[in-house]
Structure 1
Amino acid sequence: MSKQKDTCLITGGSGYFGYRLACSLQAKGSAVVLFDVTPVRGPLPAGISFFQGDIREYPQVQRAVSGVDCVFHAASYGMSGREQLNRRLIEQVNVQGTRNVLKACVEMGVPKLVYTSTFNVVFGGQVIENGDESLRYLPLHLHPDHYSRTKSLAEMAVMGANGASLKAGAGVLSTCALRAAGIYGPGEQRHLPRVVGYIERGVFRFVYGDPDSRVEFVHVDNLVSAHELAAGALVPEREPSSAGQAYFISDGRPVNNFEFFRPLVEGLGYPFPTLRLPLSLVYFLAFLTEMIHRLVGPLYNFQPLLTRTEVYKTGVTHYFSMAKARAQLGYEPREHDLTEAVQWFRSRGHGRRPGRSALGPLLLNALLVCGFVALALSYLPGVGG
């Protein structure tokens, strides 16, 4: 008699990571349900179904988790750009949505939940070198953005729910959290298109911060592997068990943020910027941009060039040890780079056209520098009358 397939639910399943995780789980024999407010683009492979619903609505979450063996809770809001400035929706999705998922798991008898967390739960702009899971949560009032603060609250709720008695059936709910670095890969739809847009519009004309600063990224396939390993270890009787544990997950290769993107810039035929600005200046300008957005956002929801959190995340050294993930989960990240992403963008018509004059970029560089300096000086005490 063949073993019945496990059924996995992925919240935020229509997103880039959620869909890649679903395809991997399906290929390994699991039945997968994608739960998202946004429909999946294109047809679904056999063994993957879609449940359209809003994580903020508990009855919809409850129906979605019915009959599920494991929940991968990847849904979130406010990770980057102007989304970071929508406090109300961030709170509703990241905090209340997570509470809804945990409550539904307990009431519907779901025994396992893997939460997709973030480095940001411990990072708020301070230098961290080879940090590990013994680091405490960053105090909530020190988070420079609502996304990081609410992801911390959500992870705390997930950790607190580990061991909760299930109301439907015997057993307990086992939970763990994977603190992911910035995700990349071919077809990624959140960060890379924004970077490419800046490159193609001539906005990416400077870098900032210490050239020796180091950050981390994680290829989508490595993150998928980590989630599958964590779910497999999410059994209280297993030794070691991932139940009640948090893990940092990345490619394990700290790199300067801008050097990481050099292959993308040059692979699309553009020159890599040589102008380097002080981190403090760029942070100050990001702060001003956020203030302007707060004033005019209700009328014009423009996309900030950078937010304060994005300046910290890209310009301040923070990377983490994965010794715990290796030892307890057997996680071994494979080597990847941006070659696939370059090919993906080029196959869709992106890339510099030959014969473009270099005068425009030079003038834009000069205008950017003058504009930054003038704007910064205008806000200094005693300057500008």
Structure 2
Amino acid sequence: MQSPKFKILITGGAGFIGSNLSEYFLDKGHEVICLDNFATGHRYNIEHLLNNINYTLIEGDIRDFSDCQKAVKGVDYVLHQAALGSVPRSIIDPITTNDVNVSGFLNVLSAAKQANVKRFIFAASSSTYGDSESLPKIEEIIGKPLSPYAITKYVNELYADIFSKTYGIETIGLRYFNVFGRKQDPEGAYAAVIPKFVMQFMKHESPIINGDGNYSRDFTYIDNVIQMNELAMLTQDSRAINTVFNTAFGDRTTLNDLIKKLQFELSQFDPKIAEVEIVYGPNRVGDIPHSLASIDKAKKFLGYDPKFSMQEGLKESVKWYWENLK
């Protein structure tokens, strides 16, 4: 049996994005370490990986520095996905959000520096653009954050930059734009909009859109995000190091369009879904009205070439939800 190519630590490896990354890199012949405390991740996302000789689960918390030290031992690359997501959650509980997203981030980054990892790639966020009204969003132009969550993700970028300049550790931040796809959790108060709408439609319940449905997002399918993580990990272009990249498809969809497309795709499985009524509610505090990424920088320096449009990703996702959660 061939020895693994690289040893990769994926924090938050039992979560939606982390578990997809784990599967992908294991399939590529790498060794994967997963660090997760199952606060938002799920054991069932990684159950099928536990018998893989190249897979190690460390049940631990990024807020515990010793857990981070244990996880980075002998690691080549860190893909830091662990975080408490959700703007509304951060508004309700800014202290825990800061604790996990800032102190936890600093723990993993410090442990990675100590262990001399080759590169530290981390999940940044489009929320960093804040109140900037310019579209498309270009990495170098940001506004003021609109939520505690957005502040924490921007602080991550600042810490990564300082660590890169001060200690020489290579860092790359990936500003995720509304990632969706297989394994995204539809349950809970802070579920992302696509899986939440899917589950409501499948139960013939009316989905509630916040606002008039004209807010728009750059919905980004999981496989495009996996591609970006791999490119960030393997790039040899020095101009790509110690910077951030938008991780998106580069197109935007209003919530009204999204819900129509979802309803159409799901009604192929269950015609009754076509009759479910859509309900409108108030806007959410801290929401950015419009989000659209420029992906020119990622194309130029990383050779990024997203394969899945929102429509193609939606078709794949709906099929997965129908087969796995019905």
TM bucket normalised to smaller? 0.7 to 0.9
Q: Decide whether the 8 Å contact of 1:175 with 1:243 is kept in 2.
A: yes
Inter-CA distance 320–206: structure 2 relative to 1 (3 Å threshold): closer
Shift of 1:256: 1.4
Inter-CA distance 197–151: structure 2 relative to 1 (3 Å threshold): same
Q: Decide whether the 8 Å contact of 1:78 with 1:84 is kept in 2.
A: no
Partner of 1:31: 31
Partner of 2:317: 341
CA–CA distance in structure 2, aligned partners of residues 274 and 54 of structure 1: 39
CA–CA distance in structure 1, aligned partners of residues 315 and 204 of structure 2: 22
2:177 equivalent among 174, 181, 189? 181
SS at match of 2:9: strand
The alignment's TM-score, normalised by the length of structure 1, stands at 0.72
Inter-CA distance 263–56: structure 2 relative to 1 (3 Å threshold): same
Q: Decide whether the 8 Å contact of 1:215 with 1:319 is kept in 2.
A: yes
CA RMSD, 1 decimal: 2.5
Partner of 1:326: 299
Inter-CA distance 272–152: structure 2 relative to 1 (3 Å threshold): farther
Partner of 1:267: 265
Partner of 2:68: 61
Question: Is 1:208 the counterpart of 2:206 in the alignment?
Answer: no
SS at match of 1:19: helix
Question: Is 1:245 the counterpart of 2:222 in the alignment?
Answer: no
1:72 equivalent among 74, 79, 94? 79
Q: Decide whether the 8 Å contact of 1:229 with 1:330 is kept in 2.
A: yes
Shift of 1:229: 0.1
Shift of 1:347: 2.6
2:160 equivalent among 158, 164, 183? 158
Partner of 1:377: none
Shift of 1:11: 0.6
Shift of 1:84: 4.8
Which amino acid in the other structure matches residue 241 of structure 2?
A: A
Q: Decide whether the 8 Å contact of 2:212 with 2:280 is kept in 1.
A: yes
Q: Decide whether the 8 Å contact of 1:33 with 1:48 is kept in 2.
A: yes
Q: Decide whether the 8 Å contact of 2:172 with 2:243 is kept in 1.
A: yes
Instruction: Indicate the structure (1 or 2) with the bigger Cα radius of gyration.
Output: 1
Inter-CA distance 308–272: structure 2 relative to 1 (3 Å threshold): farther
CA–CA distance in structure 2, aligned partners of residues 23 and 349 of structure 1: 20
Partner of 2:252: 254
Q: Decide whether the 8 Å contact of 1:35 with 1:53 is kept in 2.
A: yes
Q: Decide whether the 8 Å contact of 1:12 with 1:75 is kept in 2.
A: yes
Which consecutive residues of structure 2, in runs of 5 or more, have no partner in the other structure?
A: 186-190, 267-272
1:308 equivalent among 285, 301, 315? 285
Which amino acid in the other structure matches residue 31 of structure 1?
A: E
Inter-CA distance 272–325: structure 2 relative to 1 (3 Å threshold): farther
1:1-385 paired onto structure 2 within 5 Å: 5-38=5-38, 40-41=43-44, 42-44=47-49, 45-82=52-89, 84-124=91-131, 126-136=132-142, 138-139=143-144, 143-165=145-167, 172-189=168-185, 190-191=191-192, 192-199=194-201, 200=203, 202-204=205-207, 208-209=211-212, 211=214, 213-233=215-235, 238-268=236-266, 269-271=273-275, 282-283=282-283, 307-309=284-286, 312-313=287-288, 316-335=289-308, 336-348=312-324, 350=326
SS at match of 2:18: helix
Q: Decide whether the 8 Å contact of 2:4 with 2:54 is kept in 1.
A: no
SS at match of 2:300: helix
Q: Decide whether the 8 Å contact of 2:206 with 2:277 is kept in 1.
A: no
Which consecutive residues of structure 1, in runs of 5 or more, have no partner in the other structure?
A: 166-171, 284-306, 351-385
Q: Decide whether the 8 Å contact of 2:87 with 2:148 is kept in 1.
A: no
SS at match of 2:292: strand
Shift of 1:87: 1.4
What is the count of residue pairs matched by the alignment?
302
Shift of 1:106: 1.6
CA–CA distance in structure 2, aligned partners of residues 337 and 64 of structure 1: 33
SS at match of 2:253: coil
The alignment's TM-score, normalised by the length of structure 2, stands at 0.84
Q: Deviations over 1:17-41 (max 9, x none)?
A: 1111111112222111011012632
Shift of 1:328: 0.4
- State, as a whole percentage, how many aligned pairs show the same letter: 23
Inter-CA distance 90–349: structure 2 relative to 1 (3 Å threshold): closer
Q: Decide whether the 8 Å contact of 2:122 with 2:174 is kept in 1.
A: yes
Which amino acid in the other structure matches residue 222 of structure 1?
A: N
